[in-house]
Amino acid sequence: METSLFNNVYNPDVLSCIANLSNDEVFTPPELANKIIDMLPQELFENPDTTFLDPCCKSGVFLREIAKRLIKGLEHQLPDLEKRIEHIFSKQLFGIAITELTSLLSRRSVYCSKYPSSEWSAYQFPEDKPQGNIIYQRIKHTWKDGKCIYCGASQNTYDRGAELETHAYQFIHNLDVKRVFNMKFDVIIGNPPYQMTFGIEGGNSANAKSIYNLFIENAIKLNPRYLCMITPSRWMTKTAQGIPDAWVDSMLVQNKFRVIHDFENASECFPGVEIKGGVNYFLWDRDYQGKCNYYFHQAQTNCIIERYDYLDSKGAGVVVRDPQAYSILEKIGKVEGHYFSNPDNNFSGLVSAKHFFDDSTLLTSNWKGYKDNKSTEYSIKYYLNINRERTFRWISNSQLPKNKRTKDLHKVYIPAAGGSGYDDIILGKPFYGEPNSVCSQTFLVIGYDPVKHNLSEEECQNIIKYIQTRFFRYLVSIKKKTQNGPRGVYQFVPLQDFSRSWTDEKLYAKYGLDDKEIAFIESMIRPID
């Protein structure tokens, strides 16, 4: 029985096949699941009292692979195979499925039967536990002001009938897990759903509202000894939609991560899947506080770069993911001090928030209340994109909903989204914004504050030249890992004297970069055409 159920080489493994299918869910390949499980202390699998919870079962792969290790590890304590399997399935392995379909799939993977109380189950649960220890209950979102109070799902999208999946995931919707299972867990492990659809984009878009942080947060509340999950990496750089900066700060300051494997290219973990900003899997240890073994799997060089340090070793409130950036930032810091800790001391302080001039109605991307020709009333120059091409039209003062004083400044406009995050351009092209001009939501405004900034046209032109340098765009790339470019991605860019014109050569000399560092920057970033 042991050989037939657990030790055969499946060719192919059905869960490997599922992980390679094109679908909306990101299923975990068995090989990846085992790499994540490998991070745990392996003596856990020799202890009959160790308990495991997957709070986001999709294929059941984590519980299946853990079951294999327990069956091997408990041979001496429980030599009878049937009693060993009974103990493992009834006392050690628990799961919460994310949908009804994945509950069936997970039970089939773990118990060898969708119905664990049937005679075909590897362990036959009693009739009063027809789901075994992998549970699923369809629940509803709790709506307030058009959004779910637990996950932020849109009521317009997910307030649906009984025939459709609600995607109201039990684990993050006020489920009292302790009461459901009546126990504490030593290990919580899984691959949580990454986002709810946000705006017009879903899937693995950088514009989708992240929810994986809620799974991490609720898992930590259960006080496990260890937590292992695989998630998008955007949280590390505070560029994930819907994840509060304060949550990232709390994760970094606790220093409870023992190990993180961080992949620039998500397809190294999930073949054929694009996840903007890459993915990571980690080992979080409740009883640990210290430095992290951080492995950066670099996409362009196909190298793994290891460092042992605190995640926020720079005190920047984010993880500097690329180790190559360390030496460069250290050299800039010798000249500029701790410039990246305060927006007023770095370039991000010059950059406006998104939606600077527009509101929910006026000056949005789809708004067409402008005029083609200038007139006495329609005299404000309005920059926008039409058919993906930058152009301008004319609006009236009454159509400008906010920040009216900024229209009279000399300023610079730059696309709020540009590049993929992993191309060699990084940013869209900046351009000069003359007095009496504004822009649509497509652009951010540099030099937006009439009290702090008040740039001249010459200074604006010098800012444009600065942005076009490889040096500038490389520093932006440290944080910008998606097409989105909010003000925060400029955190590591130092301010300059903009009465001067800046080139790469002048910047390399100012900060004392050596030939190797210069070559690295120029290999990553190509010149602006």
**Residue 202 pLDDT:** 36
Average pLDDT of span 45-64: 97
| Secondary structure letter of residue 376 according to DSSP | S
Residue 187's SS3 state is strand
Contact status, residue 177 vs residue 222, Cβ threshold 8 Å:
yes
Average pLDDT of span 72-98: 96
**Residue 268 pLDDT:** 94
Residue 507's SS3 state is helix
| pLDDT greater than 50 at residue 42 | yes
**Residue 197 pLDDT:** 61
Average pLDDT of span 162-180: 84
Average pLDDT of span 301-312: 89
Round to whole Å and give the CA distance between 221 and 57. Answer: 19
| pLDDT greater than 50 at residue 329 | yes
Average pLDDT of span 416-439: 86
CA 278 to each of CA 104, 198, 318, 327, 377: distance values in angstroms, whole numbers, following the listed order: 30, 19, 16, 23, 49
Nearest CA to 133 out of 90, 99, 88 is that of 90
Average pLDDT of span 418-434: 82
Instruction: Give the residue with greater pLDDT, 21 vs 49.
Output: 49
**Residue 163 pLDDT:** 79
Q: What band does 165 get if pLDDT is binned at 50, 70 and 90?
A: confident
Round to whole Å and give the CA distance between 153 and 166. Answer: 10
Q: What angle do CA 65, 69, 72 make, to 5 degrees?
A: 140
Average pLDDT of span 162-186: 86
- pLDDT tens profile 234-256: 999 988 888 999 999 999 999 99
Q: Which residues of 278-307 are buried (b: 16+ CB within 10 A; e: fewer)?
A: bbbbbbbbeebeeebebebbbeeeeeeeee
Task: State the CB neighbour count (10 A cutoff) for residue 3.
Answer: 7
**Residue 326 pLDDT:** 85
Instruction: Give the residue with greater pLDDT, 180 vs 430.
Output: 430
| pLDDT greater than 60 at residue 269 | yes
**Residue 409 pLDDT:** 98
Q: Which amino acid is at 169?
A: Y
**Residue 425 pLDDT:** 83
**Residue 314 pLDDT:** 83
Nearest CA to 105 out of 17, 194, 181 is that of 17
Helix axes 515-524, 470-477, angle to 10 degrees: 80
Computed over every residue of the chain, the mean pLDDT equals 90
**Tokens read off for 107:** 């039970």
Q: What percent of the chain has pLDDT over 70?
A: 92
- pLDDT tens profile 442-464: 999 999 999 999 999 999 999 99
Round to whole Å and give the CA distance between 414 and 385. Answer: 12
**Tokens read off for 297:** 């799997």
Q: Listing from the earlier edge strand, what are the strands of the sheet with 380-386?
A: 389-395, 380-386, 437-439
**Residue 82 pLDDT:** 94
Round to whole Å and give the CA distance between 111 and 39. Answer: 25
Measured in degrees and rounded to the nearest 5, phi and psi for residue 452 equal -90, -30
**Residue 10 pLDDT:** 43
Burial class (CB in 10 A: 0-12, 13-18, 19+), 94: buried
**Residue 347 pLDDT:** 98
Q: What band does 207 get if pLDDT is binned at 50, 70 and 90?
A: low
- pLDDT tens profile 3-25: 444 455 445 565 665 555 444 56
Round to whole Å and give the CA distance between 299 and 321. Answer: 12
**Residue 9 pLDDT:** 45
Burial class (CB in 10 A: 0-12, 13-18, 19+), 143: middle
**Residue 15 pLDDT:** 64
| pLDDT greater than 90 at residue 274 | no
Q: Which residue shows structure tokens 């989105």?
A: 484
State the DSSP H helix or E strand holding residue 184, giving kind and residue range, or none if neither. Answer: none
**Residue 200 pLDDT:** 33
Contact status, residue 405 vs residue 375, Cβ threshold 8 Å:
no
**Residue 95 pLDDT:** 97
State the DSSP H helix or E strand holding residue 180, giving kind and residue range, or none if neither. Answer: helix 177-181
Round to whole Å and give the CA distance between 58 and 192. Answer: 9
Average pLDDT of span 353-363: 94
Q: Which residue shows structure tokens 């906010």?
A: 402
Q: What band does 1 get if pLDDT is binned at 50, 70 and 90?
A: very low
**Residue 14 pLDDT:** 58
Instruction: Give the residue with greater pLDDT, 201 vs 84.
Output: 84
Task: State the CB neighbour count (10 A cutoff) for residue 151.
Answer: 21
Long-range contacts of 393-400 (CB under 8 A, 24+ apart): 394/370, 395/363, 395/369, 395/370, 395/371, 395/438, 399/362, 399/363, 399/369, 399/370, 400/357, 400/362, 400/363, 400/438
Round to whole Å and give the CA distance between 188 and 219. Answer: 7
**Residue 134 pLDDT:** 96
Round to whole Å and give the CA distance between 221 and 468. Answer: 46
Phi-psi region of 302 (alpha: psi -120 to 50; beta: other; left: phi over 0): left
